[in-house]
Amino acid sequence: MMPCHWTRRQALRTTAAAAGALACGPLWAQDAKEIRIGQSVHLSGPLAATMTAPLRGQQLAIDEVNRKGGIAGKPLKLVMLDDAFDPKRAVENTIKLIDEEKCVALFGYASTANIAAVLPLIAEKKVPLIGAYGGSPSLRVKHHPYFFTAMASYRDEVVQMIRNLLTTQRSQLGVIYQNHAFGQLMLPVVESVAKELGANIVAKQSLEMSGADAVAAAQSMAAAKPEAVLLMAFGPSTVPVIKALRNHVGTPIYALSIANAKTLVAALGDDGRGMAYTQIIPYPWRLASPLTRDFNAAMQGASIEVDYDHFFGYLNTRVLIEGLKRAGATGRPLTPASVLTGMESIGKFDMGGFPLHYGPTRHHGSAFVEITIVGPRGKYMR
């Protein structure tokens, strides 16, 4: 989930090389038998496993809507291409999805760098990108006419972390951040939020992507005696560093929602107990809302155990589907323009326990964040 230094000119140059003149956009067939949505995501590479469950959750939501007749009487089809976490490939994939696959919208891109690289392209093509898997605040600073998110930002998560710690009289905080573009992006966010809320950062320690320096990082953090540690990392490195912090620091550890993949929490074993994770989607085991009841029924039908990872993909797709339904309500064929209007028309809307708010100048639809604690046997407690 990296910040990107691509400029609009670079993205358009890649576009021109791969697909010719940008002005020659695709014509969406009036008699199309399905509604095609495009997704470029990392299906290969070291972080590919982090997307397995969300992608399965996506498909559960698509299967669900198709069983009910699809959108405006047509089935929904997701066309998925692998970008291996590479911005250049994401741009190339996006061109193919728009120009060759005739997708009326894009969905679920999963890297800050990749999203940043395609934003100039989707503005030129006038095709909306909906529901990114990434909460980078940098992508939300300036309004983009064709970019929509469905989940809170990483900054929203850090605010909730620090507010929660301050209510328990813990204001002296340490930060461990990934020695990678993601961690380098998040460190100044944490520093800014801490200053704003009145907390003090007493130590900052980098962590390699491999986690090979986890013990050294924990020992360095221990010397500063923080009252809590904020972990700005995700992927396999979180397991060794959390274990090392348990041994050397012994204070509460807070991590972002991106770090709470089911496989990683399971790998922590007993060391995971007491971990605090922010969550940007509702508690999936609470059956009091229509949304979670639908999700639980879909998971039961697929013989999959309920978890946050699948719910992330399922809920992201449900937001997309809501926008598509509104776009198709007129009875006219769906186009990128009608999908854009459909998303903006959602307004203030409670999706069965998940509040959304969209509009013509409001494309980031949720600020929902809550804290969960890992209990016995890796179970989450609110």
Summarize the confidence of residues 80-84 as an average pLDDT.
Answer: 97
8 pLDDT band (50/70/90 cuts)? Answer: very low
Whole-number Å distance between alpha carbons of 119 and 142 = 12
- pLDDT at res. 106: 98
The string of pLDDT tens digits covering residues 126-147 is: 999 999 998 889 899 999 999 9
- pLDDT at res. 346: 97
Cα-based distances in Å from 131 to 128, 164, 214, 224: 10, 27, 33, 39
Start-end of H helices in 252-346: 262-268, 290-301, 308-327, 336-344
The string of pLDDT tens digits covering residues 83-114 is: 999 999 999 999 999 999 999 999 999 988 99
Whether the predicted pLDDT of 321 surpasses 60: yes
b/e 45-54 (16+ beta carbons within 10 angstroms → b): eebeebbbbb
Whole-number Å distance between alpha carbons of 356 and 253 = 30
The string of pLDDT tens digits covering residues 176-232 is: 999 988 899 999 999 999 999 999 999 999 999 999 999 999 999 999 999 999 999
- 8-18+32-152+290-357 against 154-279: fold identical: yes
Whole-number Å distance between alpha carbons of 124 and 151 = 25
Whether the predicted pLDDT of 20 surpasses 50: no
What is 154-279's CATH number? Answer: 3.40.50.2300
Q: What is the mean pLDDT of the chain?
A: 91
Whether the predicted pLDDT of 30 surpasses 60: no
CATH class of 8-18+32-152+290-357: alpha beta
Domain residue spans of the chain: 8-18+32-152+290-357, 154-279
Whole-number Å distance between alpha carbons of 333 and 310 = 31
Residue 86 contacts residue 113 (beta carbons within 8 Å): no
b/e 12-43 (16+ beta carbons within 10 angstroms → b): eebbeeebeeeeeebebeeeeeebbbbbbbbb
Note the pTM of the prediction, 2 decimals.
0.87
Summarize the confidence of residues 287-310 as an average pLDDT.
Answer: 96
Whether the predicted pLDDT of 24 surpasses 50: no
Whether the predicted pLDDT of 351 surpasses 80: yes
